[in-house]
Structure 1
Amino acid sequence: MTDWMSWLVAAGILVIAELFTGTFYLLMIAVGLSAGALAAWLGLSGPLQTFVAASVGLAATAILHRSRFGRPARREATRDSNVNLDIGQRVLVDAWTDGRARVMYRGALWDVELGAGSRPEAGNFRIVEVQGSRLIVTNS
């Protein structure tokens, strides 16, 4: 097997591994290995092929790390609607007692607390956070 084929096989293995892990960093290293294959196809020596592959892989990884895809936004799980499907749902509160209430939600009784800046009045409220068995709500 020629050098450029070896580089492409290694790049293909990393692309397959990236599909299983879901990280783009392996994909960036595979881009570097593809650049090594191009260097081998152009007839560069082994050390130069390795240098090209490492340089391109390192640059691609650095660019990815600085992009918005390299650092996903960190949110608290208690407030993240992708983690907890109750976030954004509505509940009906009949009466408040010192900023707390009990409501029927999803067939069970839940403790409800007012979120910051909310008014304690009867009516519909939107769930903004779930802390254990407590729903934190704000006015709709």
Structure 2
Amino acid sequence: MSESAVWWLLAGAAVAVELMTGTFYLLMMTVGLVAGAAAAHLGLPLIGQIVVAAVVGGGAVAAWYGYRSRSPAPLPANANRDVNLDIGEAVQVVQWNADGTATVKFRGANWTAVAADPAAPASPGNFRIKEMLGNRLVIEKL
């Protein structure tokens, strides 16, 4: 079996493992394995193939790590609109209860809502769902 075939088999195995685990870093290492296969096709000796694979794979991992560390952290699931489409929807508060909650009609059902800022004066009006804590809506004034 040729050296390039071994590199391609390793790359295929890495992709299969990545699909099972969901780690994007393993996919970046696969780019290095593909670069090793390309180096084998170009006729580089084995040590050159290994160096090319290590530099390209390690560089791809370092570049992805740098990109991820500069991007903002995702919101928690209970406040992330990508997870819960109710986040950001408007609700109408008619009256606040003495305990700081309100009953709002949302999606055809009554929900218990609490203010996102409990220090703010509780006045009726239009609010936006900021997050969901269990079966309670955390709302903020529009």
Give the TM interval when normalised to the shorter protein.
Answer: 0.7 to 0.9
Counterpart check, 1:101 vs 2:108: no
Q: Are the equivalent residues in 2 in contact too, given 1:102–1:111 (CA < 8 A)?
A: yes
Identity across the alignment (%): 45
SS in 2 for 1:57: helix
SS in 2 for 1:78: helix
Shift in Å, 1:87: 0.8
Q: Within 2, Cα distance between the matches of 1:100 and 1:42?
A: 70
Give the aligned residue type for 1:124: N
Q: Are the equivalent residues in 2 in contact too, given 1:118–1:138 (CA < 8 A)?
A: no
Which range moved further: 43-52 or 16-25?
16-25
Q: Which residue of 2 aligns with 1:128?
A: 130
Name stretches of at least 5 consecutive residues in structure 1 with no aligned partner. Answer: none
Shift in Å, 1:100: 2.1
Q: Which residue of 2 aligns with 1:26?
A: 26
Q: Within 2, Cα distance between the matches of 1:124 and 1:62?
A: 47
Structure 1 segments of 4 or more deviating over 6 A?
69-72
Shift in Å, 1:135: 1.0
CA RMSD in angstroms, aligned pairs only: 2.6
Matches within 5 A, 1:1-140: 1-19=1-19, 21-68=21-68, 73-98=73-98, 99-116=100-117, 119-140=121-142
Shift in Å, 1:118: 5.1
Name stretches of at least 5 consecutive residues in structure 2 with no aligned partner. Answer: none
Change (3 A) 1:34 1:72: farther
Shift in Å, 1:17: 4.5
Q: Are the equivalent residues in 2 in contact too, given 1:65–1:71 (CA < 8 A)?
A: no
Aligned length: 140
Q: Within 1, Cα distance between the matches of 2:58 and 2:70?
A: 14
Change (3 A) 1:30 1:69: farther
Change (3 A) 1:101 1:115: same
Which range moved further: 9-18 or 103-112?
9-18
Give the aligned residue type for 1:8: W
